Amino acid sequence: MAIESGWPGVVNLAEAAAVGGAVVHRRSLTDDVYERLIELLLEAELEPGARLQIDALARVWQVSQTPIREALARAEVSGLVVRQPLRGYQVAPLLSPGEFEQLVEMRLLIEPYCAARACERAEDGVLDLLERQHAVMRDSPKGPTSHDYRDYLRADIAFHETIAAAGGNRFLLAALAVTSTHAHRFRRFGGGTVTDAADSLREHSAVLRALRARDAEGAGAAMRQHLLGVGERGRGCRTEVEVVPVQLVTARLGRGIRLPPPRRSVPRRVPG
């Protein structure tokens, strides 16, 4: 049953966005801000339709509004946020069951091929990285809140993207990057807990074994079986999404959080 949120239409993102503090520049500033935005959409459980205030995000993440706008525009192209006239950016609705089926179909077209290609192209260091990502998934908490299972979630996404990157086709990698976030938002891990970890870990292990054996056909088949399992488990998710009121999000994520002190200098922008 859906929770009545009483959300008034204006969201104060300061406490939720403050998790992790200021954006740390590792690549281009826009890429780093986009990554933090994706984390916010995945981990804060903001309701579809919640407003994403550019000035609030810029203030908490200690960057100018320009990279925030660029990251939001990029997320809009991916379908993760929507822009409404006179209201700005909002969290996009979750995928419908039919759209989720289409997403799984797309991944079935892309990822088995990428896994097979990775067998031919991936160096041993890439396989070692996949093993570490698999270990993080195995050892990370699986709930009871989205903040608890964020390491599991990140490692799961990274596992798939590492295989796609090893396949050597940057266009397929870019397409996959869009689907991963949509899939995890749709599934929501009912009740705030990862419920299919054992299945996913077993299926990932089968993919890893095939990659280690340089068995391209086996890797593609193992990835296909994994995605079919993801699709089947996704069909078991509730169709009436249980959303978490923004008031509860900020209360839960805001406890014990201290905003970092403002910096005197303006971060240097690197074109992204």
Domain borders along the chain are 14-93+243-254, 97-235
Neighbours of 182 (CB within 10 A): 19
- Contacts of residue 46, defined as CB under 8 A and 6 or more positions apart, other chains included, come to 11, 16, 40, 91, 246, 249
The architecture (CATH level 2) of 14-93+243-254 comes to: Orthogonal Bundle (1.10)
| CATH ID of 97-235, from 1.10.10.10, 1.20.120.530, 2.40.50.1020, 3.40.50.10740 | 1.20.120.530
Neighbours of 3 (CB within 10 A): 12
pLDDT value at residue 5: 31
**What would the pLDDT profile of 21-73 be if each residue is shown by its tens digit?**
445 445 588 889 988 888 888 766 677 888 999 999 999 999 999 999 999 99
| Amino acid (one-letter) located at 167 | G
pTM: 0.69
**What would the pLDDT profile of 192-219 be if each residue is shown by its tens digit?**
556 788 999 999 999 999 999 999 999 9
Query: What mean pLDDT comes out for the span 125-149?
Result: 85
